């Protein structure tokens, strides 16, 4: 399989064919590391969306009738193909989105694992038998697919997020129209190539690339759309929810986070420092689960702060393909400007800059979108740094006098995705587990996602609809039929 060339054009994938957009236009994808061209994707139109929707609609009956075990087999094949091409795909990911190669390879490996997990779903149970009070009857549930599912994904995990939506969608019997984020659509195109090579029947999986406000909108309006799963910004997510509600279809949203880490007085400080740096600066902070507020009890505040700064100074920033680089650039010029804007605002509002705060300069950095690992202190709960999702390498340190205050501060946000605590106190752990308003609760571990076999999602403004990943994904991608059969 031809997985990578230096500069290539990814076509739309519709009804098992790689086709150019009706517009005849392409969009250039630029590396945030050095502004080199990574490739081109189609600038699609309403007509392309229509073709993809028609193909998915025509394919849905047969795909469902094929049965779950047979559908699982295709995912096994796709997993093997992805695994064989893991390195070149990870390289494209690093070039296009900027994250360090080790992280990119980790993401592709995770994609393989997710595919195998859902391939195994092919032979797991499809429903339940429920005792009926009528001894001559059989009462049972069966799962049915939604039909055509729209998948709209962001640029920060262009391999793992499309896979963790498409794999359950497909195994549970849905057909898919994927609209990947434009900024990393070359990489996602490589993933779709793996599915295509697995020999899926015509129309089961379709990909259309191009501007979200044009083709995403067309997808949402399309009469054949039966469900939509979206990961991205809060604004677009709310729009998706409104459109889906108007159409009366199911929707699933994964949006932002403002994830707190509490460092209690009895914490293992070295462990907490490492976890905070990983959580805040890996992927250049461009993760919905990134650590952004670090709430530290005063008894250990100075000690923790010193160690954190000392270790943060050792972080190597650069082109993610260079060996030893730990943190890459921001994923785009937009993102770079947005993060610098938040830093400026933090200074204006009176937070104290302890480390970083600037764009990196010099021959290695001038062509890319690099920002220094940045740490602020003196961040109060009403400041922008404590309230808005930054999606960049910025930590807000917040000092509190006790555990109760820490929990209150951690919950003082509209978001509720991931939260961590570092402590050895069992009572505090139990209380944290109950009181914290997040979907992901982590103890002595960085704020982060979870293994693919466990549910992923948030509370409050972070998520809507059923959880993603693991068995929980079934709740969104299927609907229950309750069947009563009388002798």
Q: Return d(Cα 167, Cα 145) in angstroms, integer.
A: 13
Which residues have CB under 8 Å from 419's CB, separation 6+? 259, 260, 261, 262, 410, 432, 436, 438, 440, 441, 442, 447
Place of tokens 């938040």: 342
- Assess 217 for contact with ligand TAP (CB under 6 A): yes
Nearer to ligand TAP, 201 or 455 (CB): 455
| Contact by Cβ (8 Å): 473, 114 | no
> Is residue 254 flagged as an active site residue?
yes
Q: Identify the active-site residue in 254, 446, 468, 475.
A: 254
List, as one string, the DSSP characters of 178-244. Answer: EE--GGGHHHHHHHHHHHHHTTPPTTSEEE--S-IIIIIHHHHH-TT--EEEEES-HHHHHHHHHHH
User: Of residues 82, 104, 181, 276, which one binds ligand TAP by CB under 6 A?
Assistant: 181
Q: Return d(Cα 73, Cα 3) in angstroms, integer.
A: 22
Cβ 22 to ligand TAP shortest distance, Å: 17
Cβ 48 to ligand TAP shortest distance, Å: 14
CB under 6 A: which stretch of 3-11, 121-129, 210-218, 419-427 binds ligand TAP? 210-218
Cβ 232 to ligand TAP shortest distance, Å: 3
Within 10 A of 131 (CB to CB), how many other CB atoms are there?
6
| Contact by Cβ (8 Å): 232, 85 | no
Binding marks (x or -) toward ligand TAP, 138..177, rule CB under 6 A? --------------xxxxx---------------------
Binding marks (x or -) toward ligand TAP, 280..299, rule CB under 6 A? --------x-----------
Cβ 177 to ligand TAP shortest distance, Å: 12
Q: Return d(Cα 57, Cα 4) in angstroms, integer.
A: 31
The DSSP bridge partners found for residue 41 are 10, 27
Binding marks (x or -) toward ligand TAP, 375..414, rule CB under 6 A? --------------x-x-----------------------
- Assess 178 for contact with ligand TAP (CB under 6 A): no
User: Of residues 236, 312, 395, 396, which one binds ligand TAP by CB under 6 A?
Assistant: 236
Give φ, ψ of 480 to 5 degrees.
-95, 135
User: Of residues 12, 182, 206, 461, which one binds ligand TAP by CB under 6 A?
Assistant: 182
Q: Return d(Cα 404, Cα 418) in angstroms, integer.
A: 18
Token duo for residue 423: 């402590």
DSSP state letter for 444: S
Nearer to ligand TAP, 173 or 227 (CB): 227
User: Of residues 193, 254, 372, 446, which one binds ligand TAP by CB under 6 A?
Assistant: 254
- Assess 107 for contact with ligand TAP (CB under 6 A): no
Helical pair 185-197 and 160-171, crossing angle rounded to 10 deg: 30
User: Of residues 57, 60, 165, 179, which one binds ligand TAP by CB under 6 A?
Assistant: 179
- Which of 170, 184, 155, 165 lies closest to 10, judged by CA? 184
Catalytic residue list: 254
Interacting residues with ligand TAP (CB under 6 A): 152-156, 179, 181-183, 211-213, 216-217, 231-233, 236, 239, 254-256, 288, 389, 391
């Amino acid at each position: 399989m031809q997985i990578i060339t230096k500069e290539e054009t990814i076509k739309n994938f519709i009804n098992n064919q790689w086709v150019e957009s009706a517009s005849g236009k392409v969009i250039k994808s630029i590396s945030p590391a050095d502004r080199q061209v990574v490739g081109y994707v189609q600038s699609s139109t309403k007509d392309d969306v229509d073709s993809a929707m028609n193909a998915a609609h025509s394919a849905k009956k047969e795909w469902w009738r094929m049965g779950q075990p047979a559908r699982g087999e295709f995912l096994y094949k796709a997993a093997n193909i992805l695994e064989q091409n893991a390195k070149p795909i990870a390289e494209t990911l690093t070039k296009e989105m900027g994250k360090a190669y080790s992280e990119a390879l980790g993401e592709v490996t995770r994609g393989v694992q997710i595919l195998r997990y859902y391939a195994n779903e092919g032979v797991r149970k499809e429903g339940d038998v429920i005792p009926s009070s009528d001894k001559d009857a059989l009462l049972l549930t069966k799962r049915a697919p939604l039909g055509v599912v729209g998948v709209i994904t962001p640029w920060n995990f262009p391999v793992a997020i499309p896979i963790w939506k498409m794999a359950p969608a497909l195994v549970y019997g849905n057909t898919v129209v994927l609209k990947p984020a434009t900024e990393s659509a070359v990489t996602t195109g490589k993933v779709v190539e793996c599915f295509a090579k697995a020999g899926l029947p015509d129309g089961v999986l379709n990909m259309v690339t191009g501007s979200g406000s044009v083709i995403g909108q067309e997808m949402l309006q399309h009469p054949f759309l039966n469900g939509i799963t979206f990961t991205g910004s809060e604004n677009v997510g709310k729009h998706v929810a409104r459109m889906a509600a108007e159409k009366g279809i199911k929707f699933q949203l994964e949006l932002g986070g403002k994830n707190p880490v509490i460092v209690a007085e009895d914490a293992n400080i070295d462990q907490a420092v490492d976890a905070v740096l990983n959580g805040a600066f890996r992927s250049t902070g461009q993760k919905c689960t990134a650590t952004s507020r670090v709430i530290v009890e005063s008894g250990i505040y100075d000690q923790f702060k010193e160690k954190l700064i000392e270790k943060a100074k050792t972080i190597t920033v650069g082109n993610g393909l260079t060996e030893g680089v730990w943190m890459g650039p921001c994923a785009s010029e937009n993102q770079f400007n947005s993060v610098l804007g938040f830093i400026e605002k933090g200074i204006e509002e009176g937070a104290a800059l302890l480390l970083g705060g600037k764009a990196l300069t010099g021959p290695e950095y001038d062509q890319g979108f690099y920002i220094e690992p940045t740490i602020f202190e003196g961040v109060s709960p009403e400041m922008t740094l404590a309230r808005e999702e930054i999606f960049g390498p910025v930590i807000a340190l917040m000092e509190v006098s006790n555990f109760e205050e820490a929990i209150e501060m951690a919950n003082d946000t509209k978001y509720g995705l991931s939260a961590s605590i570092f402590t050895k106190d069992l009572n505090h752990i139990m209380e944290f587990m109950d009181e914290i308003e997040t979907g992901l609760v982590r103890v002595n571990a960085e704020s982060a996602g979870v293994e693919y076999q466990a549910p992923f999602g948030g509370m409050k403004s972070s998520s809507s609809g059923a959880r993603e990943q693991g068995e929980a994904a079934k709740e969104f991608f299927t609907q229950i039929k309750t069947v009563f059969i009388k002798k």
